[in-house]
Amino acid sequence: MEVVALVALAQLSSLLVGIVYHRINAGTTAFIVAELKNRVYEALQRLSLGFFTHRQTGSLMTRVNYDAGNLQYFFHDGLPLLIVNAVQITGILAVMFSLDWRLTLLLLVPVPVLLALTRRAYPHLWRLFTLRHRRSASLTALVNDVLTGARVVKAFGREEQEIGRFHRKSDDLFQVTLAAGR
């Protein structure tokens, strides 16, 4: 019965710490991301014209917004989840070792195999997420180009061609996102 009370106390403590952390983190994360976007934008304004001739506008827009959003996700959701899970795993392992250390060791046998498989999959995942980022930037660039050149598109009756281009790029992004998710 003591073990159950200890686990319940640990869960309650985890919940309370999580609530306090998220309340503090929400404001801090929003501030950091806004400041990061400001600094990236300021840095873009200081770059030479030559820099912009070799880059698509949509790619730069994706850099500012997408990367900042990923950073916000990491600080707001990823890091707290990592910390909470690490504390929970440590607590669960402590309880398991106190109950039956031999059974606990037996349950930990597949952990090195799982870690090796994860390490082996990481380069493939890195390539997929890089490709997803590039395809997202390409889609953003297309939307930017079409919206800024909307008069030209309308004047030459190119709406259907542009819709087709968008659908192809959107499907490309969907396919790589699906592959990364799998």
SS3 2: helix
pLDDT value of residue 128? 92
pLDDT value of residue 105? 93
Among 48-57, 121-130, 155-164, the range scoring the smallest mean pLDDT is 48-57
pLDDT value of residue 144? 83
Average pLDDT over residues 22-36: 81
At residue 54 the predicted structure's pLDDT band, cuts being 50, 70 and 90, is confident
The structural domains of the chain, with segments of one domain joined by +, span: 1-109, 110-182
| Phi-psi group of 100: left, alpha or beta (phi > 0 → left; psi -120 to 50 → alpha; rest → beta) | beta
pLDDT value of residue 8? 87
User: Does pLDDT of 20 surpass 80?
Assistant: yes
Locate tokens 């390539």: which residue? 127
CA distance 106 to 80: 29
Q: Higher-confidence residue: 83 or 114?
A: 114
Neighbours of 141 (CB within 10 A): 19
pLDDT value of residue 176? 92
pLDDT value of residue 76? 73
Mean pLDDT of the chain: 85
User: Does pLDDT of 140 surpass 80?
Assistant: yes
pLDDT value of residue 78? 81
Average pLDDT over residues 131-136: 88
Q: Where are the alpha helices (DSSP H) in the chain?
A: 2-46, 49-53, 57-73, 79-99, 101-107, 111-148, 150-155, 159-181
User: Does pLDDT of 93 surpass 90?
Assistant: yes
Q: Which long-range contacts (CB under 8 A, 24 or more apart) does 46-49 make?
A: none
CA distance 182 to 171: 16
Query: What percent of the chain is modeled with pLDDT above 90?
Result: 28
Structure-token pair, residue 85: 């899970």
Residue 158 contacts by C-beta under 8 Å, 6 or more apart in sequence? 152
Do residues 58 and 139 lie in contact, with contact meaning Cβ atoms separated by under 8 Å?
Answer: yes
Do residues 27 and 97 lie in contact, with contact meaning Cβ atoms separated by under 8 Å?
Answer: no
